[in-house]
Structure 1
């Protein structure tokens, strides 16, 4: 497995592992019919993304150990987390029918375009969905392989694998709760928080932290201490994402501000807007969200209603509160100072980002 030298940045080292792994898979499958999918996956995995999950994993590891025995295995574990993240994004875009991701057509749109460009027979949209579904599955399988082959000592690897398996199951359960809420039209704040905890907070922050700690040989109390830091931060991270999904700048986020509203995503932001609006404004909100033909003017009206109801301000306050609670937990942790400083900077980045 290719690993860049320790002198390189963490992002460069993660990218080196991903490049080496994906290129080896591409070389092992010479069939020309597979080339479009593998090329698309290679670009998706290696371009875009902030590598936050590997960074949380790495610095949690550094919080427990001085790294004297080398850090190649935790860098590889970070690459495994990125592959799982790719799986989650690809499948999420299929479920949400999102058209853009990281400033490009989402993968199912790209495969639908391949079908049209080649003038193949059958339903091009179905081909796009099916191709992206399989590509996402491949990323999930690869993520497990990269972690298994990371080279960590067996007892530590076993604990990391246990947490990794739990993370994957939580993400799927959270996604299912998300689509149930969409189907029922139940925009409940508590239910939205539960989706955040399972679908995003755990796999974006908590479990990467705990995987890193496990690879360093942390005991149970240390692993739980990372959860005390990661849970409120993970919630704040997703709340920021929800705000950006409606109020963000597409050229910075790489996504349309229409997708979440057209899909009536059951976010905390939307739940608060509905709960705090007048009856007339609530009726207007419900008439706009979930419409597949919602345009920019309609989205603008939704934003006005969210601001006017106080929902945006309340969500920002929840983000601030989660960030504060995370930093308080971090300050109380018995970890190395350099790791505390790095994790604090990552916490700031997670909640203050604009894309």
Structure 2
């Protein structure tokens, strides 16, 4: 990332916008998502370029690894890095007495983005996805490379194998970058434990997702299973845990961590519920995925579970036969989509999203009303920071891509 004696533009911005509030003081303003994303992206690029050079020194054939990771990590939403950064600022009250903290936070945030990239690479293999962000999924890219270079053996199996290995490498690099951040921020048992929990939860959540796809639709736990997958595969690791990890790196105590969790978990659930809606109803031009993709992949989401409550036995039979069939026609997908709407499943999920979104906003409003509270352990934010959190919450809950 940046050298120890190079000032961070984002850190400088924070100092200018937030002043010199005491530790756990009122956070007047948070760094902008755009500036955080730019800072973290630059750091990831530099880190991966150095690793690409290492791969090339091992063998000229390893050049594809570094280039694949560089290409794959460009253009992401940077949701997790932004939230980790904000978690750190909420915990420290923008106190800059820790020195060049932005370098370490940028590295910790970058490590989360690499963990996310590893999960996406493996997720696309598991789901047999053809595209990611409007481009061929990584395993499809290596499948094409196999054919173009006239390699022997099966192109598809080579693509899958290459993607699994590169996903593993990306996960290892994520750990390396997080360890690097500790040289600036200091080693904290709380942060290490949270990092391990985050990594564990997303992997267990992935298994639960795989299992849910083969469970019959009339399974009595289908709704409970859907909420488990939603929470552990995505909601916690996408929103709540990045905020908590940043707060832990900033030295937050248990009380403040609990407050931040009250904001982060419902927002993470709203985020993933919206993702489930977009997986079926999203515009392919915006999502980069085919329309109705979750139906062809057989996802047992909360949307599916809620719809099952009001479908007729005949409709349930049709849905059970079609979920997970990659060869469905657009007309067959369209019929399933109509069932999800007419059954009230979509309306139920939209109601869940609104409820979870409102829960998160309520916590942010509470933080904004205790700015003069004598309790130094309370999270305190000013009007600008409240507006930033509310805007980000709305963007996550009601996004179109």
| Range with bigger deviation, 76-85 or 324-333 | 324-333
Question: Counterpart in 2 of 1:235?
Answer: 269
Match of 1:165 among 196, 215, 229: 196
Deviation string for 1:152-210 (max 9, x for gaps)? 43243x42221111001011111111111112224611110011111101110111000
Q: Does the residue aligned with 1:256 lie in a helix, a strand or coil?
A: coil
Q: Secondary structure at the match of 1:149?
A: helix
Give 1:34's aligned residue.
62
Distance, in Å, in 2 between the alignment partners of 1:181 and 1:324 is 29
Is 2:380 the partner of 1:335? yes
Q: Which residue of structure 1 lines up, in the alignment, with residue 341 of structure 2? A: 307
2:9 aligns with: 5
TM-score normalized with structure 2 length: 0.84
Structure 1 SS opposite 2:153: coil
List aligned pairs for 1:161-200, cutoff 5 A. 161-186=192-217, 188-200=222-234
Q: Distance in 2 between matches of 1:63 and 1:148?
A: 22
- Cα distance change on mapping 1:217 and 1:152 into 2, 3 Å: farther
Question: Where does 1:123-272 land on structure 2 (aligned, <5 Å)?
Answer: 123-150=154-181, 151-156=183-188, 158-186=189-217, 188-272=222-306
- Aligned residues of 1:76 and 1:146 also touching (Cα < 8 A): yes
CA distance in 2, matches of 1:67, 1:14: 20
Q: Matched residues in 1 for 2:292 and 2:125: separation?
A: 15
Matched, 1:57 2:57: no
Q: Which runs of 4+ in 1 moved over 3 A?
A: 338-341
SS of the aligned residue for 2:66 comes to helix
CA offsets, 1:15-67, max 9 Å, x none? 1110110000011222221122221111101x222111111111121112214
For residue 326 of structure 2, what is the aligned residue in structure 1? 292
Tell me which moved more, 85-94 or 292-301.
292-301
Q: Which has the higher helix share?
A: 1
Look up the match of 2:398.
352
Tell me if the contact between 2:105 and 2:185 (Cα under 8 Å) persists in the aligned partners.
no
Q: Report the CA distance between 1:343 and its aligned residue.
A: 2.3
Q: CA–CA distance in 2 between the matches of 1:170 and 1:242?
A: 19
- 2:359 aligned partner: 325
- Structure 2 vs 1, CA of residues 239 and 314 (structure 1 numbering), >3 Å: closer, same or farther? same
Shift of 1:353: 0.7
Q: Is the 8 A contact 1:152 1:215 kept in 2?
A: no
Provide the C-alpha distance between the structure 1 equivalents of 2:394 and 2:147, rounded to a whole number of angstroms. Answer: 44
Distance 1:62 1:198, change over 3 A: same
Contact 1:62 1:339 in 2 (8 A): no
**Count of matched residue positions in the alignment of Structure 1 and Structure 2:** 353
